[in-house]
Amino acid sequence: MAAPSLLNWRRVSSFTGQVPRARHGHRAVAIRELMIIFGGGNEGIADELHVYNTVTNQWFLPAVRGDIPPGCAAHGFVCDGTRILVFGGMVEYGRYSNELYELQASRWLWKKIKPRPPATGLPPCPRLGHSFSLYGNKCYLFGGLANESEDSNSNVPRYLNDFYELELQHGSGVVGWSIPVTKGVVPSPRESHTAVIYCRKDSGTPKMYIFGGMCGSRLDDLWQLDLETMSWSQPETKGTVPLPRSLHTANVIGNKMYVFGGWVPQTTNNVEASQDSEWRCTSSFSYLNLDTAEWTSLVSDSQEDKKNSRPRPRAGHCAVAIGTRLYFWSGRDGYKKSMNNQVCCKDLWYLDTEKPPAPSQVQVIKATTNSFQVKWDEVPTVEGYLLQLNTDLPYQAASPDAHANLQGVQADLSRQASNNTLPHNMPVSHLSQELLKLEDTGNSTESDHKVRKGIAIKSQSDHKEFERHVPSIPPFALATHVADGSCSVDMRKKNEGAQTSKNVSESYGLDLRTVHPEAAVSSAISGTHTMVPQRIIKTESTNTNGAVVKDETSLTAFSGKSEADEAFVQPVTKGSSAETQDSAAPLSKDTTSKPMTLERKGERQWCDVGIFKSNTALVNQFYLLPKGKQDISKVGNTDAPDYSLLKQQDLVPGTVYRFRIAAINGCGIGPFSKISEFKTCIPGFPGAPCAVRISKNVDCIHLSWEPPASPSGNILEYSAYLAIRTAQVPDNPSQPMFMRIYCGLKTSCVVTAGQLANAHVDYTSRPAIVFRISAKNEKGYGPATQVRWLQERKESSSK
């Protein structure tokens, strides 16, 4: 049965940039959040490459260079990583192509490729309307339409059902064509069909599915090719098979092949015309479950109407899957005989096919006495995030009347208190910069580095005693409390002393982050991350930030058996220029399967913090749901309370709050993340050291900093720590720990080559060596500033 949420179409109307002209016969692929469109025709064949950023809603016209191909339509278009291959298509009326071009999208560099011909037989002839599908390191070409006439002004069509395999080289270039020997009955000749490749998780056998097409009349047959045995077959399907069609689109998301639009035979009173001379565009929408071979109709031809709630009928459009979202753009919706031309659509639509996955755990960036700045990993193609918390403190439920006005989440995601709403402030940059992120060299710029605050480090009066008791594991400090206040940053790098093979600006950089080593259980703020475990010590509450070290002697009583579950790890992440800092957080040994903070039996009711458009939030209040009401996740998938009618409650100092986050898209609210626990600050601890600088000499580096902007008294000492790779945490031998490399009143220290040789290098985003620096006053250690010293990226010999 069709899920109603699947019909929740969205028309994109707020895009900016150089919007391409409407067309049909174009093709599209996706690279991360980018939709890349090439070719097509409408009053001439288009030769531009257009790109749409689905996050910023901006169109780009990148400056391409190299062997730029001529414009073409009904061509093959596939994407392998950040390279795109274009094969064949119509380059002008009656003249088709069999040329192959490669685009390196990270540099917008075109290159004409000359594949080796097959060992037996001829290479593919010029054609249009063929299918060109990628799986692994091979492209599969099937069918199409050739022109038998030697005169391009006359067209003698010949439908094809030949089958070719094109082997690709790694990264760039191709090996050549081959003609596989297949078994079974080959599909009939056709053009303007679709082909997708799907591999079941349990069987591991990839199969290519061909549906529909044109061969004098339109087709509705489904063919399957096992790419391992090269055996053709026609699977028996269940459900209602879509009408025969051509110029439709087919995209695989999960185990479903979604088929939209195309030319279908004209029907009269629901009876198909006896001949295919009458045809029309359709907006019907179906999917085939590729595991069960069952068709499901989501929008049938009989349900079509001219409402503005979904795309109007069209053919020759493009469709691309980004995550679990389908984007549709342009295409033709009819033919005006009086004008002898096609009528093209100019609209862009998307459709969420399933609820979004659970985001990462909430991560604290900064904690104060009555607020948290929190963050979580972005989930692609979502419309917002629902943030919730609960606490053990008593709170008064709101009036039942406050929840009377429920409205759709998707109607207005910004409908909430202004102090709880953060704008979706995604940086808009040139498209080449978007793609260059995919091949980052690891070099940094001064603008990349900012500092944020974190959870403070507790006073530890005698680290040497700890060293004596655990000589095999270098000591380090752990955070236990939060310090209030802000921290400034000096975005400078120094290149002092002799350099070796490369200068510091090329090979190294600073990535400054102020961290709270006891912030919260959480995964990375954004992007990829690695967990850098800290030394295990006893705390009063190992599952909250702000945990208090019982006494100094507890630091010496290390026991792998009794304390193995009290491991503390530090997420180290690298995001965009506005997201280059993160917080340390106590986690369990396995942050993905065994979070430190779990839901408890009979836990308190979850309260909404709000719905946020971006992946960051300032939390200083939360909303009280009416007494007896369940939380929003149980009220419904598409309804949210009107927050203006709900009572708010402030956060209070020294209190533990549990957080969870869920993503929202057109299908509703997805599952919640694992739970994180944070504790608001207790006043009086110093701020984080700031203006951190690193300068490199021949045999050492010089690490310096400035005192905290908010010392909250006299600074008694500073401690600096280095993440090392040699020490081992029980049950986690592959994870590094932090070793203290300096303790004293000076605001600088020297890190020797011997110490650096022992350093752990984080390769999850940009390779970096990680330092931490914290200040101590009469009350204890404050937040630690984390410094990621960017290293030169080493090319891997294997992919």
What pLDDT is stored for residue 736 in this prediction?
62
Question: Do the beta carbons of residue 138 and residue 168 sit within 8 Å?
Answer: yes
Q: Are strands 16-17 and 58-60 parallel, antiparallel or unpaired?
A: parallel
Annotate 212-274 with three-state secondary structure: EEECCCEEEEEEEEECCCCEEECCCCECCCCCCEECCEEEEECCEEEEECCEEECEECCEECC
For residue 169, pLDDT over 70 is answered with yes
127: which residues sit within 8 A by CB, 6+ positions away? 88, 96, 98, 144, 145, 146, 160, 191
What pLDDT is stored for residue 499 in this prediction?
32
Q: Which parts of 393-515 are beta strand (E)?
A: 406-408, 455-457, 479-482, 509-515
| Band of residue 422 on the pLDDT scale cut at 50, 70, 90 | very low
Q: Is 342 helix (H, G, I), strand (E, B) or coil?
A: strand
What pLDDT is stored for residue 578 in this prediction?
28
What are the φ and ψ backbone dihedral angles of 795, each rounded to 5 degrees? -70, 135
For residue 619, pLDDT over 80 is answered with yes
Question: What fold is seen in the domain 355-393+605-626+646-682?
Answer: Immunoglobulin-like (2.60.40)
Biggest CA pair distance of the chain: 94
What pLDDT is stored for residue 794 in this prediction?
59
Distances 79 to 86, 179, 409, 736 between C-alpha atoms, Å: 9, 22, 35, 37
What pLDDT is stored for residue 534 in this prediction?
29
Question: Do the beta carbons of residue 740 and residue 656 sit within 8 Å?
Answer: no
Q: Give the rounded percent of residues in the chain with a pLDDT score beyond 70.
A: 66
Q: Which of 103-112, 479-488, 564-573 has the highest mean pLDDT?
A: 103-112
Mean pLDDT of the 688-696 span: 88
At the fourth CATH level, the homologous superfamily of domain 693-790 is: Immunoglobulins (2.60.40.10)
For residue 172, pLDDT over 70 is answered with yes
Mean pLDDT of the 274-292 span: 84
Q: Which of 391, 409, 398 is nearest to 628 (CA)?
A: 398
Mean pLDDT of the 338-346 span: 72
Q: Which of 126, 117, 164 is nearest to 145 (CA)?
A: 126
Mean pLDDT of the 649-667 span: 93
Beta bridge partners of 771: 722, 787
For residue range 123-166, list pLDDT tens digits in order.
Answer: 999 999 999 999 999 999 999 999 988 776 778 899 999 999 99
| Band of residue 761 on the pLDDT scale cut at 50, 70, 90 | confident
d(C-alpha 692, C-alpha 774), whole Å: 11
What pLDDT is stored for residue 603 in this prediction?
57
What pLDDT is stored for residue 300 in this prediction?
84
| Element (DSSP H or E) covering residue 468 | helix 463-469
Mean pLDDT of the 92-114 span: 96
d(C-alpha 732, C-alpha 44), whole Å: 62
For residue 295, pLDDT over 70 is answered with yes
Higher model confidence: residue 346 or residue 134? 134
How far, rounded to the nearest angstrom, does the alpha carbon of residue 799 sit from its chain's CA centroid? 20
For residue range 318-335, list pLDDT tens digits in order.
Answer: 999 999 999 999 999 876
Higher model confidence: residue 658 or residue 640? 658
* Sheet containing 58-60: order of strands: 16-17, 58-60, 49-53, 34-38, 27-31
For residue range 468-477, list pLDDT tens digits in order.
Answer: 333 222 222 2
Q: Which of 177-191, 321-335, 345-359 has the highest mean pLDDT?
A: 177-191
d(C-alpha 136, C-alpha 119), whole Å: 22
Mean pLDDT of the 382-393 span: 92
Higher model confidence: residue 159 or residue 758? 159
Neighbours of 337 (CB within 10 A): 6
Tell me where in the chain the CATH 2.60.40.10 domain(s) lie: 355-393+605-626+646-682, 693-790
Question: Do the beta carbons of residue 427 and residue 576 sit within 8 Å?
Answer: yes
Least-confidence region, from 3-17, 240-254, 363-377, 474-488:
474-488
| Band of residue 203 on the pLDDT scale cut at 50, 70, 90 | confident
Least-confidence region, from 312-326, 531-545, 669-683, 702-716:
531-545
For residue range 1-56, list pLDDT tens digits in order.
Answer: 344 444 789 999 888 999 999 999 999 999 999 999 999 998 889 999 999 999 99
Least-confidence region, from 232-241, 572-581, 735-744, 765-774:
572-581
| Band of residue 711 on the pLDDT scale cut at 50, 70, 90 | confident
What pLDDT is stored for residue 333 in this prediction?
85
Higher model confidence: residue 468 or residue 538? 468
Q: Give the rounded percent of residues in the chain with a pLDDT score beyond 90.
A: 48
Sign of the CA dihedral running 427, 432, 434, 439: negative
What pLDDT is stored for residue 594 in this prediction?
32
Q: Which parts of 582-686 are beta strand (E)?
A: 607-612, 616-619, 621-624, 639-641, 647-650, 656-665, 668-672, 676-679
Q: To the nearest 10°, the Cα dihedral for 666, 431, 83, 159?
A: 70
Q: What is the mean pLDDT of the chain?
A: 73
Question: Do the beta carbons of residue 218 and residue 212 sit within 8 Å?
Answer: yes
